[in-house]
A and B are shown apart, each in its own frame.
Chain A
Amino acid sequence: KAGVTQTPRYLIKTRGQQVTLSCSPISGHRSVSWYQQTPGQGLQFLFEYFSETQRNKGNFPGRFSGRQFSNSRSEMNVSTLELGDSALYLCASSLVDPGTNTEAFFGQGTRLTVV
C-alpha cells in the first residue's frame, strides 16, 4: 500500500508570505501528526489530528495552524513566514494513536526555506 505522501517536497518562500503543506496519510490511518525538524532541535511536535479534530498541540505560535479533512488528509499552514521557520516539516500517520501501541509512519517531508 502507498506510504505517507507529502507535497510539495521543496518550497522557497519570502518572509511575510504564507505557506500550505499537504499530507496524505496511509489509507485507513486516522491520526496525522506534524513535526518541525531543524538541526540541533530534533523533532518538535506541532499538532496532531484525529478524525478531523485537533487533539494535541505543541508549543508553536498561532501562525502555525492545521486541519484535517474527512478523508484524513491534512494540511498545515504557516502565516507571516519568518526566517526561523526554515525547516523540514514532517507528517506522520498512524492507525489510531501514535501515543498508544501503534507506530508512526513518516512522509518524506517538505523542506521549507524562507528567504
Chain B
Amino acid sequence: GQQVMQIPQYQHVQEGEDFTTYCNSSTTLSNIQWYKQRPGGHPVFLIQLVKSGEVKKQKRLTFQFGEAKKNSSLHITATQTTDVGTYFCAGPPGRKLIWGLGTSLAVNP
C-alpha cells in the first residue's frame, strides 16, 4: 500500500548543530505537508509544498520537495531547545493524508 517513510526516527543534537529529516513516499504526491508536535502536544502545521523542486524557508527551517515529488526534507540550521519535538511529514496520494512515523528531535543545551 501507499507508504511514507521518515528517517531518522530519532535524532539527538547539541544546541547549535544542524538537523535534517527526510521523507520518502512510495507514490508521487500532489503535495506534502510538514507538522511539528511538541512533547505532550498535538501536531501543528508548519508548511505545505506543492511544486516539483520547491524550496521554502521559515527562519532557520528549510523545506524541500523533490523533483519527482516523492521525497521531501526539512533542515534546521543551528538548532535551539525550542526546536524539540517530533516532526511529521504527510502526503496525500489521494484525499487521505498518509503520515510518516515522524522524527523525534532532542536538543542538548
Query: Which of A's residues lie within 8 Å of B, judged by CB?
Result: 33, 35, 40-45, 48, 55-56, 58, 90, 92, 97-101, 103-109
Number of interface residues, chain B, beta carbon within 8 A: 23
- Are B97's CB and A106's CB within 8 A? no
Give CA–CA (A43, B100) in the complex, Å.
8
- Are B43's CB and A56's CB within 8 A? no
* A45, closest chain B residue (CB): B96
- Are B102's CB and A42's CB within 8 A? yes
User: B73 CB to closest chain A CB, in angstroms?
Assistant: 18
Query: Which of B's residues lie within 8 Å of A, judged by CB?
Result: 30-31, 33, 35, 41-45, 48, 50, 88, 90, 92, 94-102
Report if A42-B98 is in contact (Cβ < 8 Å); known contacts: A104-B45, A108-B42.
no
Report if A107-B45 is in contact (Cβ < 8 Å); known contacts: A45-B98, A56-B96.
no
7 contacts between A and B (CB under 8 A): A43-B43, A44-B99, A99-B92, A99-B95, A101-B50, A104-B43, A105-B45
